[in-house]
Chain A
C-alpha cells in the first residue's frame, strides 16, 4: 500500500502541483471567509467595539449574531476537514509527512490555541477555562498539535453545554493535554472510533458516517508521530468521571 502510494505520488508531480495550487486557493478563500466573519462577529456584538467584546452571554440570543457564529463554526469545520483530508492524502504518520518537532513553551501553545478559538467560543456563548504548568517546556510539532487541539475544541463546541476546559499537566514522562466539556458526553459510536484510531496493526480506520472519524484518525496519527526513547504519543476519548467538567473528554498524551 505504502509502496504503491509512494510511486503514485512521486510519479505524478503534475497532479501534486495541481493539488497544491488548488489547496492554496481554497485556503485563501477559507482564510478570507473566517477572517471576515471574525471581524464581523467582534464588531457586531451589541454595544461593543472590535477591540473589547463584552461577555458572550449578553450578545447571545440575537439571531444575526448567532447566525454569524454558526457560519464561523461551519467555516472552521471546513478548514479542519480540508487540513485533515490533505494530511490523509499526504499520508500523515508515514515517513514522507512533514514533521518538525521542537522545544516549545506550553504557555505559548495555550496562547495560540486560545487565540484561534476565542471569537468562535465567544459567538457560541461558551467559556474556555485553561489550566497548565506556567514554566513547562515540551518538545512537539507545534503546528500539528495546535491543529489537533483546535479541532478538539471545535468538536467540543458541538457537545458542550456552555463550558470547555483545556487542561495540560506533566504526567511522569508524558505531557497530558485534555479538552473537556460539560455536556452529556460523546455518543458510543464516537468512543468506539477513538479506540479504533489507536489500535495498531491492520491500519483499519473507522471513518464513521461523518467526519469525526477523520478527525480522530488525524489526531491519533499526529500523536503517534511524536516519539521519544521508544515511547510514542496517543489519544483517548472518555465520558464523565475522569473530566473535571463531567462531560466528554479528549485526551492527547505526548512523550
Chain B
C-alpha cells in the first residue's frame, strides 16, 4: 500500500495524525482498519461532537474524518465551524465530511466553512486514498492564494489565481471562482462580473449565477438580480444562497412581505443557520408577526449553544418580542442574559437601548426615561467607543422619544461627521431630526458637521501635497481621533502613512499603524477598491510578505472582537 501511496501523489499518509468522528462504533472500527491499511499509526476516535472538540483542542490533526450526522448535540458541520473559528486546525489540515447519502449540504453553496471534501458511505480504501490525494494537491495549489487572502492582500491573491489557472487546468473552475470572490473583495465588481460571465459561457454553475446576481444587486439592477436568483432556485430548490440573496434584495426594496416569504422557505429547507434565523426573526418582527419572530429568535439562541456563530441580536430581538407581548419581566431577563453571556461595552450599550425601547413600547415612560438618562451617562464617557451608525441612529431616536435632548443631538452630529459624504445615511440622520421636530435645526447641524469633517481632511491632504509629510501624518492622527469612523479620513490617513514609508523605507511601527487603519476601514465598509490597492502597496513595501498584515489583523480582532459579517 505504501508504494501505491507514494506513487499516487508523493504523500506519505502513514505519518499523519487522524481523528475519526462517528457515533457508531462499528464505523469507527471499519475506518480505523482502512486507515491502518494505508499505513496510518496515529488514529484517535471521538463518538460525539463534544468529544471531537476536546480532542481537537489538544492535538493538531492532519486529517479529520467526521460524520455529518452525529445524533444529539453538534452535527458535523457545527464541529467543523467551531474547529475552524477556534483555530483548532492547521491550514494544511484536511477535513472530510462523511455522510450516508449524497448530501444536500454539499450543493447548497454559501456555507462559509466548507469541508475539503464530502464522502459517502460505504467508504472503500480506493475512494478514500483518491480523495485524500486530491484534497492535498488542491491545498498545495491554493496555499499561497489562501495566505494572501488571509493577509487581505486580495489583488495579489487574484493574480496568483490567474497564474495557477495556466498551470493546473483541472482546477480552473475552482480558481476562477476564488478569483471572482477576491475581485469582489477588492472592490472590482466589473472584473468579477467578467469572470462569472466567462465561466457561465461554459456551464450554468449556480455559484456563478448567484455571484452575478449579487453584483447586479449592488449595481442597482435589483430586478435583473432577482430574476437570476429565481432562475437558480428553479434549477435547484436547495441552493440556499439564492434564497438568502433574494430575501436581501426584497429587503433593499422595502418589500418586507416578500422577503419574509422567501426567508420562510429558506428557514424550512435549512433551519440550522444562525444568520438566516436572525434575518427571519427580524423581518417577522418588522411585520409584527410576533409568533414567528419569537420562534426564529428562540431557534437562534438554541442553536447558539452549539455554534460559535451565536449572536447577541437574537436576545435583543426576543426581548422586543416579549415587549410586544407585554412581558417586560422576561424581556429584561433576556437583556441581562445577553450582557452576562456576551459582555463588552457595545453589548451593554445596545442592551440599554433595547431596555429603553421595551419600556417605551410597554408604556412605562418613567422607566424608559431612566434608561435614557443612563444611556446619556454612558455616552458622556469619551474613553468608550461609539457603536456603529445604525445603532447610533436607533439610540438617538429612543433618546428623543423619552425626552432627552442634548445627547441625541451630539450623537447625530457625530454620525454626520463620520459619514460626511454618505448621502443616504445623512438622509436617515435628517429623518431622525425631523421626527423629533428639529428639522431646520438638524439641517444646519448636519451642514456644519459635514464642513468640520471636510476641513479636517483638506488640511491633512494639503500638508501632504505640499510635501510636509511628517506634519501630515501627525495631523491625520488628530483627525482620526476626532472622526474614528470616517472612511475618507481613514483612507487618506493610510495613504499618507504609505507615502511616508516610501520616503523613509520600511518602518515597522508606521506600517502597523497603516495596517491598523486599513483593517478598521475594512471592518466598517468591506469590499473597497482603495482598501485592496493600499493593502497591496503595503505588502510590496514589507520585507517579509504577509506576516505583518496577518499579525495586525489578529491584533485588531483581539482588540475589537471578530470582524462582523
Contacts and interface: CB of A to CB of B under 8 A. Distances in A.
Contact of B100 (A23, A95, A137): A23
B106 A108 contact: no
A112 B27 contact: no
A116 B125 CA distance: 8
A92 B470 CA distance: 68
A191 interface: no
Given A112-B126, A115-B127, A137-B170, A98 B104 contact: yes
Contact of B169 (A27, A51, A96, A137): A137
Interface string A208-223: 0000000000000000
Interface stretch (A29-37, A54-62, A125-133, A151-159): A29-37
A115 B107 contact: no
A228 interface: yes
A112 B127 contact: yes
Interface in A12-57: 13, 20-21, 23-24, 26-28, 30-32, 34-36, 38-39, 50-51
A232 interface: no
Interface string B280-302: 00000000000000000000000
B361 to A, nearest CB: 34
B203 interface: yes
Nearest to A108: B130
B525 interface: no
A143 B236 contact: no
Interface in A189-221: none
B436 to A, nearest CB: 46
A31 B27 contact: yes
B234 interface: yes
Interface string B86-128: 0000000000000011111011000000000010111111110
Contact of A99 (B30, B33, B236, B268): B236
Contacts of A100: 106-107
Interface residues of B, number: 43
Given A24-B69, A98-B102, A137-B169, A51 B122 contact: no
A143 B120 contact: yes
B126 A116 contact: yes
B134 A108 contact: yes
Contacts of B102: 87, 98, 143-144
Contacts of A87: 102
Given A35-B33, A98-B103, A28 B173 contact: no
Nearest to A114: B126
A103 interface: yes
B37 interface: yes
A83 interface: yes
Contacts of A30: 121-122
A83 B203 contact: no
A95 B268 contact: no
B317 to A, nearest CB: 23
Contacts of B530: none
A173 interface: no
A145 B163 CA distance: 31
B24 interface: yes
B126 A31 contact: no
B101 A118 contact: no
Interface string B450-467: 000000000000000000
B162 interface: no
B238 interface: yes
Contact of B27 (A32, A83, A108, A111): A32
Contacts of A98: 102-104, 106-107, 238
B10 interface: no
Interface in A105-142: 105, 108, 111-112, 114-116, 118, 137, 139
Contacts of B103: 98
B124 A115 contact: yes
A31 B130 contact: no
A118 B26 CA distance: 22
B5 to A, nearest CB: 13
A1 interface: no
Interface in B209-248: 234-238
Contacts of B171: 103
B101 A86 contact: yes
A121 to B, nearest CB: 13
How big is chain A's contact interface, by range?
Answer: 35 or more
A88 to B, nearest CB: 12
Contacts of A35: 30, 33-34, 122
A184 interface: no
B124 A116 contact: yes
B374 interface: no
Given A98-B238, A100-B106, A115-B124, A36 B30 contact: yes
A244 interface: no
Interface in A67-93: 79, 83, 86-87
B104 A6 contact: no
A32 B120 CA distance: 14
A87 B100 CA distance: 12
Contact of B33 (A13, A34, A39): A39
From A36, A86, A104, A111, residue with most partner B Cβ within 10 Å: A111
Contacts of B268: 10, 13
Contacts of B123: 31
A28 B101 contact: no
A143 B148 CA distance: 32
Contacts of B107: 98-100
A18 to B, nearest CB: 13
Given A101-B203, A137-B169, A28 B130 contact: no
A226 to B, nearest CB: 10
B100 A24 contact: yes
Contacts of B237: 6, 95-96
Contacts of B129: 115
Contacts of B134: 108
A49 B90 CA distance: 37
Given A39-B33, A228-B203, A51 B127 contact: no
Given A115-B126, A144-B102, A103 B173 contact: yes
A38 B30 CA distance: 11
Contact of B130 (A23, A26, A112, A143): A112
Nearest to B269: A10
Contacts of A26: 100
Contacts of A143: 102, 118, 120
Interface in B27-41: 27, 30, 33-34, 37
Most chain B CB within 10 A, of A24, A115, A137, is at: A24
Contacts of A38: 124
19 contacts: A20-B100, A27-B101, A28-B24, A30-B121, A30-B122, A32-B27, A35-B30, A35-B122, A95-B236, A98-B102, A101-B203, A103-B173, A108-B130, A111-B130, A112-B124, A116-B124, A118-B126, A143-B118, A146-B127
Closest 3 CB pairs of A and B: A115-B126, A27-B100, A31-B122
Given A31-B26, A108-B134, 11 more contacts: A10-B269, A35-B122, A83-B101, A99-B107, A105-B170, A108-B130, A116-B127, A143-B118, A143-B120, A144-B102, A228-B203
